[in-house]
């Protein structure tokens, strides 16, 4: 998962890209990058860590121009390090090209092999670099056609923002796995992964970029280009609604908070329980826990407090015990929990290790009974479309039955939201990607089928 933003029009576009990244920080904390384009010349700054850490006033002054791209990186494909951070910027025969990508190509390794055979030199290991090479090597006459030809060769998940000179391109893959929204500024346009970025820069939400759509913004004008075709079954990622997107964003036509509340309500209907209070694993489960409380009538409490200042990679070497990561991040409120029958609502269960640690904290705080509820189905399959998930062997839902997981977590009862219940809560008949729950992969897994290594990107 990554966050991307593109701005075209305002005098200091990089300022708005910076604010947009700030709003998209939850989509990646490993590195941040901004590229600004002035008179066709791109200036780039990429830094490890949070957006606020890497871009002071002096840095922003350097990033001049009316066009800018921004990216927050979630460490996945190719490992950490700035060499794999974005935007990627290169100079080729049609000018300076910059690119940011959210998603994961499922044929990246196959294309890379082909490009290497033809003499291409790769600097980084992320799949996005393949796209840059495909554009640069295109024999088509102009940048519009070069972009189209390159994107037509990609399989898998991509929401892309590209600048060639001062022109901004936006595109989504034919399945529409990852989000990308278009907003209007008084003096230009902004594109971003989520609407919360539009809100912060006071852009008016116009619409989602459609699956398979390619847009160009040039001299203030929004120009539709020939598209990539729309897949017969579009596949917006339902995990965006479960966990990734911010609750104040609107994704896939749903306000994320509303969708999560509905998941919580449905979960309460599917797995009722007698209990004294319900609480969330903050923050991503707050809305689902509220929905559970509203439907069940069990009072909602703030019983777990999350420390928001835990460094991303902070592990004290002498204290790195089994529960330490959990303890440093969450603290239970004993007065709320002691002697109570509690319902804990989490958005999803991936490895299960955090949940195990949490349950032991809750038991230590004196809970009489612990009932665990998960506002999504068991995660049984890895994601190949842009979400960094562990291997199948590491997924607790792939290895163990629900009863075995209940015993492993040491809870009195365990209930997952059903796949039908989750889809029924949001889709109104629309298709979603649910591959990590159902194992039904829609976009071909080209590299995997050829036995090539598949890397999650972002």
Active site members? 2
What separation in angstroms does the CA of 189 have from each of 11, 15, 68, 219, 253? 12, 14, 11, 11, 20
DSSP strand pairing (413-416 vs 369-374)? parallel
CA atoms of 304 and 277, how far apart (whole Å): 12
The span of 114-122, 337-345, 400-408, 428-436 binding ligand SF4 (CB under 6 A) equals 428-436
177 is a site residue for ligand SF4 (CB under 6 A): yes
Query: Which helix (H) or strand (E) is 423 found in, with range?
Result: helix 419-426
- With CB under 6 A as the contact rule, the residue among 158, 239, 300, 330 that binds ligand SF4 is 239
Q: Over the range 292-321, which residues count as b (16 or more CB within 10 Å of their CB) and which as e?
A: bbebbebebbebbeeeeeeeeeeeeeeeee
425 is a site residue for ligand SF4 (CB under 6 A): no
The span of 53-61, 195-203, 393-401, 433-441 binding ligand SF4 (CB under 6 A) equals 433-441
Q: Which is nearer to ligand SF4, 144 or 240 (CB)?
A: 240
416 is a site residue for ligand SF4 (CB under 6 A): no
435 is a site residue for ligand SF4 (CB under 6 A): yes
Q: Which is nearer to ligand SF4, 239 or 372 (CB)?
A: 239
436 is a site residue for ligand SF4 (CB under 6 A): yes
433 is a site residue for ligand SF4 (CB under 6 A): yes
How near is the Cβ of 180 to ligand SF4 at its closest, in Å? 14
Q: Which is nearer to ligand SF4, 27 or 327 (CB)?
A: 27
Q: Which is nearer to ligand SF4, 18 or 437 (CB)?
A: 437
CA atoms of 170 and 214, how far apart (whole Å): 6
CB-count burial class (<10 Å; 0-12, 13-18, 19+) for 196: buried
Q: Which is nearer to ligand SF4, 158 or 292 (CB)?
A: 158
Looking up tokens 């460490």, which residue turns up?
75
CB-count burial class (<10 Å; 0-12, 13-18, 19+) for 115: middle
Binding to ligand SF4 (CB under 6 A): which residues in 218-237?
Answer: 237
Angle between helix 128-137 and helix 143-152 axes, rounded to 10 deg: 130
How near is the Cβ of 179 to ligand SF4 at its closest, in Å? 11
Q: Which is nearer to ligand SF4, 65 or 386 (CB)?
A: 386
Ramachandran assignment for 297, one of left (phi > 0), alpha (psi -120 to 50 degrees), beta (any other): left
Give the per-residue SS3 of 367-406: CCEEEEEECCCCCCCCCCCCCCCCCHHHCHHHHCCHHHHH
How near is the Cβ of 237 to ligand SF4 at its closest, in Å? 3
DSSP 8-state secondary structure symbol assigned to residue 243? I
How near is the Cβ of 368 to ligand SF4 at its closest, in Å? 36
Ramachandran assignment for 425, one of left (phi > 0), alpha (psi -120 to 50 degrees), beta (any other): alpha
361 is a site residue for ligand SF4 (CB under 6 A): no
458 is a site residue for ligand SF4 (CB under 6 A): no
How near is the Cβ of 398 to ligand SF4 at its closest, in Å? 13
372 is a site residue for ligand SF4 (CB under 6 A): no
- With CB under 6 A as the contact rule, the residue among 100, 383, 395, 423 that binds ligand SF4 is 383
The span of 160-168, 338-346, 358-366, 380-388 binding ligand SF4 (CB under 6 A) equals 380-388
Structure tokens at 192: 């971003």
Q: Which is nearer to ligand SF4, 177 or 263 (CB)?
A: 177
CA atoms of 276 and 281, how far apart (whole Å): 17
The full DSSP string for 20-83 is: HHHHTGGG--SEEEEEEEETTEEEEEEEES-HHHH--HHHHHH--BSEEEEEEE-S-TT-SSGG
Q: Which is nearer to ligand SF4, 290 or 435 (CB)?
A: 435
Residue among 222, 188, 164, 219 at smallest CA distance from 41: 164
How near is the Cβ of 389 to ligand SF4 at its closest, in Å? 7
The span of 70-78, 130-138, 411-419, 430-438 binding ligand SF4 (CB under 6 A) equals 430-438
Residue 453: other Cβ atoms inside 10 A = 8
Determine the size of the site formed for ligand SF4 (CB under 6 A). Answer: 11
The span of 245-253, 272-280, 337-345, 383-391 binding ligand SF4 (CB under 6 A) equals 383-391
Residues near ligand SF4 (CB under 6 A): 177, 237-239, 383, 385, 387, 433-436
């Amino acid at each position: 998962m990554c966050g991307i933003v593109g701005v075209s029009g305002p005098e200091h576009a990089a300022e708005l890209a910076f604010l947009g990244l700030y709003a998209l920080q939850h989509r990646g904390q490993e590195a941040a990058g901004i590229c600004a384009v002035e008179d066709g010349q791109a200036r780039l700054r990429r830094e490890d860590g949070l957006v606020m850490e890497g871009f002071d006033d002096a840095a922003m002054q350097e990033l001049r121009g009316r066009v800018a791209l921004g990216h927050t990186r979630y460490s996945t494909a190719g490992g950490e390090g700035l060499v794999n951070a974005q935007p990627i910027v290169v100079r080729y025969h049609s000018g300076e090209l910059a690119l940011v990508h959210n998603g994961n190509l499922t044929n990246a390794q196959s294309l890379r092999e082909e490009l290497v055979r033809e003499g291409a030199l790769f600097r980084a290991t992320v799949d996005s670099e393949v796209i840059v090479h495909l554009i640069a090597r295109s024999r088509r006459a102009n940048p519009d056609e070069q972009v189209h030809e390159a994107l037509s060769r990609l399989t898998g998940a991509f929401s892309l923002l590209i600048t060639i000179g001062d022109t901004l391109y936006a595109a989504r893959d034919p399945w529409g796995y990852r989000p990308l929204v278009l907003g209007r500024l008084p003096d230009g346009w902004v594109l971003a992964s989520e609407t919360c970025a539009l809100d912060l820069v006071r852009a008016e939400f116009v619409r989602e970029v459609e699956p398979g759509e390619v847009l160009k913004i040039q001299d203030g004008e929004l120009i539709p280009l020939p598209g990539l075709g729309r897949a017969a079954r579009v596949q917006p990622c339902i995990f965006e609604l479960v966990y990734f997107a911010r609750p104040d964003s609107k994704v896939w036509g749903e306000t994320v908070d509303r969708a999560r509340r509905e998941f919580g309500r449905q979960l309460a209907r599917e797995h009722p329980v007698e209990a004294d209070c319900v609480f969330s694993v903050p923050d991503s489960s707050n809305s689902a826990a509220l929905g559970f409380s509203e439907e069940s009538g069990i009072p909602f409490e703030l019983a777990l407090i999350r420390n928001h200042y835990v460094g991303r990679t902070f592990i004290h070497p002498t204290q790195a015990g089994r529960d330490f990561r959990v303890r440093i991040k969450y603290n239970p409120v004993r007065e709320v929990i002691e002697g109570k029958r509690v319902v804990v609502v989490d958005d999803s269960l991936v490895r299960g290790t955090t949940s195990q640690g949490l349950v032991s904290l809750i038991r230590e705080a004196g809970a009489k009974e612990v009932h665990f509820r998960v506002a999504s189905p068991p995660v049984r399959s890895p994601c190949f479309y842009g979400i960094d998930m562990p291997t199948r062997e590491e997924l607790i839902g792939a290895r163990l039955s629900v009863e075995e997981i209940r015993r492993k977590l040491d809870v009195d009862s365990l209930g997952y939201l059903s796949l039908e219940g989750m889809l029924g809560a949001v889709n109104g008949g629309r298709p979603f990607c649910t591959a990590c729950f159902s194992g039904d992969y829609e976009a071909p897994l080209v590299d995997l089928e050829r036995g090539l290594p598949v890397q999650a990107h972002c």
